[in-house]
Structure 1
Amino acid sequence: EDEKVVIARDHLLPRQLERAGLEKDEVALEEAALRKLAGEYTREAGVRNLERAVARLLRKVAAQHELGDRELPFTVTDTDLRGLIGRPHHVPESAQ
């Protein structure tokens, strides 16, 4: 999971920010949010679904901004995820 967070922060996030039409100083993801995305929203060996989740999250923030519902710059926290992209798909093992 640690490697996925590093990959997401260093590679996936910049690419998806550009695709969503956002600047890197407009939206940031906290480390806890990236960890939650990797652990509770995706469950895979690779990062394809993690990239999709990041893309969906950024599109949602961009759409809210365009509609006037979200001020930028915005930092996404782990508690923001549920309201932006829904409930997690995987329950953490410690909660079972």
Structure 2
Amino acid sequence: MNSNLTVRQAILWFALYQIGSAYLVLPAVITAVAKQDAWLSIPVSLGFHLLLIPLYASIARQMQGKSFVEHLRCLFGPLGGTISIVFIFSFPFLCSL
């Protein structure tokens, strides 16, 4: 199994995470305030997230065949990379509590 991310895979991974977050989290949060107009939060947030895709593409190009973990360690150093990996993997668990 190849553990390296291609540029296309990284862009899709980042973009789909943002889109999924927009569909799952925003309507629940905004419904309390916006009532029947909460559906408007999805297209607006998708528009903002689509503007971030070029940023994701540049990050993916910098990875140059490294795995995500290797890229984090390269960016933040061995200690900072390990800490960021722990946060990334513990975040879904903490959100489910």
Superposition TM-score, scaled by structure 2 size: 0.29
Higher helix share: 2
Larger radius of gyration: 2
Superposition TM-score, scaled by structure 1 size: 0.30
Higher strand share: 1
